[in-house]
């Protein structure tokens, strides 16, 4: 068995290979003069773990090329971050169900698929192969535990993130609450005012994704107004578009951290051990 990855998931892939005590396939990536992507994989095995987060359209195409390059091997697909999963239904006439369109691309060439904290687990039904969705909630809880807070409040920015926040909070038996968010557009959110038990406390806001940072910046303002001592922000997938990281730091967040499902300078926890454990079973 060997591990192979797209360009954007190479660190996580190497960690998965390390955890499985197996080797990683060397891949050469380049482009044709017209901009189309090209890749050439080194020596393959008869069983391959293909790792690639869909962080953008290029990453998606590269992943499809990689699956094709691994033809003839028994392939297990790992999608640490599945982009397009947030368009999980047709909200208005004429829209695609983007998550379904993407999932259908992986019906051939792989035996099964592992995702990590997929935005909406319902979309797993769109895959034509068996899927397993892993959660890094416990890992995030362990990391927060090591930060040494006394009596922190774990806060979900909306009710969709509440179950995840509760799982994080259960690691330390910490208090957990959630806010009511309404999304006005892709970049704008509104939060209903809510009295939280945040005064004189450290608060860790946890979510599956930080994209523009708008959700968490709005929540942070509310928390400081209510007397929170310090606010931290943690997510599984650090999409962090535009100046999101700086925007969050400028809004007074002490530290922003994420996992390595998207490899970032602020990736503090790894999905590798959990993915490796699933692949071993
Ligand atoms: C949406 O429901 C997700 O769980 C996140 O809350 C959302 O993607 C965060 O987006 P942003 O950082 O742009 O506010």
- pLDDT, residue 245, reads 98
- pLDDT, residue 111, reads 98
pTM for the model stands at 0.95
What count of Cα atoms within 13 Å lies in the side-chain half-sphere of residue 47? 7
In the numeric block, the tokens 């962090």 are attached to 240
Q: Does the beta carbon of 209 lie inside 6 Å of ligand 1?
A: yes
Whether pLDDT at 6 is above 80? yes
Query: Measuring CA to CA, which residue among 270, 276, 230 is closest to residue 17?
Result: 276
Q: Does the beta carbon of 177 lie inside 6 Å of ligand 1?
A: no
Determine the distance separating the centroid of ligand 1 and the alpha carbon of 197, expressed in angstroms: 23
Band of pLDDT at residue 19, cut at 50, 70 and 90: very high
Whether pLDDT at 49 is above 90? yes
- pLDDT, residue 92, reads 94
pLDDT in tens, 254-270: 999 999 999 999 999 99
Mean pLDDT along residues 236-248 = 97
Q: Does the beta carbon of 214 lie inside 6 Å of ligand 1?
A: yes
- pLDDT, residue 10, reads 98
- pLDDT, residue 224, reads 95
Beta strand 2-5 with 23-24: parallel, antiparallel or unpaired?
parallel
SS3 49: strand
CA 14 to chain centre: 18
φ, ψ (nearest 5 deg) of residue 25: -85, 130
Whether pLDDT at 57 is above 80? yes
How long a stretch of residues is the chain? 281
- pLDDT, residue 196, reads 81
SS3 50: strand
Query: For ligand 1, atom 5, which residue shows the shortest CA distance?
Result: 209
Question: 8, 181, 190, 194: which one is catalytic?
Answer: 181
How far is the C-alpha of 26 from the C-alpha of 42, rounded, in Å?
A: 5
pLDDT in tens, 78-120: 999 999 999 999 999 999 999 999 999 999 999 999 999 999 9
- pLDDT, residue 192, reads 76
Q: Does the beta carbon of 212 lie inside 6 Å of ligand 1?
A: yes
In whole numbers, what is the pLDDT of the chain averaged over residues?
96
Is 181 catalytic? The answer is yes
More confident residue, 67 or 197: 67
- pLDDT, residue 77, reads 98
pLDDT in tens, 179-226: 988 888 877 878 877 888 899 999 999 999 999 999 899 999 999 999
How far is the C-alpha of 103 from the C-alpha of 124, rounded, in Å?
A: 8
H/E element holding 36? Answer: none
- pLDDT, residue 80, reads 98
């Amino acid at each position: 068995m060997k591990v192979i990855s797209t360009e954007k998931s190479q660190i996580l892939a190497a960690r998965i290979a390390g955890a499985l005590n197996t080797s990683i396939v060397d891949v050469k990536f380049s482009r044709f003069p017209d901009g189309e992507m090209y890749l050439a994989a080194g020596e393959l095995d008869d069983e391959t773990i293909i790792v690639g987060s869909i962080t953008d359209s290029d990453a998606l195409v590269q992943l499809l090329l990689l699956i094709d390059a691994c033809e003839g091997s028994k392939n297990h697909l790992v999608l640490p971050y599945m982009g397009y999963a947030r368009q999980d239904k047709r909200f208005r006439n004429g829209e695609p169900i983007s998550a379904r369109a993407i999932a259908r691309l992986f019906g051939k060439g792989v035996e099964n698929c592992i995702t990590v904290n997929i935005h909406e687990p319902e979309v797993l039904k769109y895959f034509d192969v068996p899927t397993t969705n892993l959660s890094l909630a416990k890992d995030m809880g362990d990391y927060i535990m090591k930060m040494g807070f006394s009596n922190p409040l774990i806060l979900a920015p909306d009710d969709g993130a509440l179950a995840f926040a509760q799982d994080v909070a259960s690691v330390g038996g910490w208090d957990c609450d959630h806010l009511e968010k309404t999304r006005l557009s892709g970049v704008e959110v509104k939060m209903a005012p809510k009295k939280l038990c945040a005064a004189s406390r450290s608060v860790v806001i946890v979510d599956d994704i930080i994209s523009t940072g708008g959700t968490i910046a709005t929540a942070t303002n509310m928390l400081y107004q209510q007397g929170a001592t310090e606010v931290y922000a943690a997510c599984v997938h650090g999409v962090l578009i535009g100046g999101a990281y700086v925007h969050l730091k400028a809004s007074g967040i002490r530290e922003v951290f994420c996992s390595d499902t998207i490899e970032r300078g602020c990736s503090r926890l790894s999905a590798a051990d959990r993915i490796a454990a699933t692949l071993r079973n």
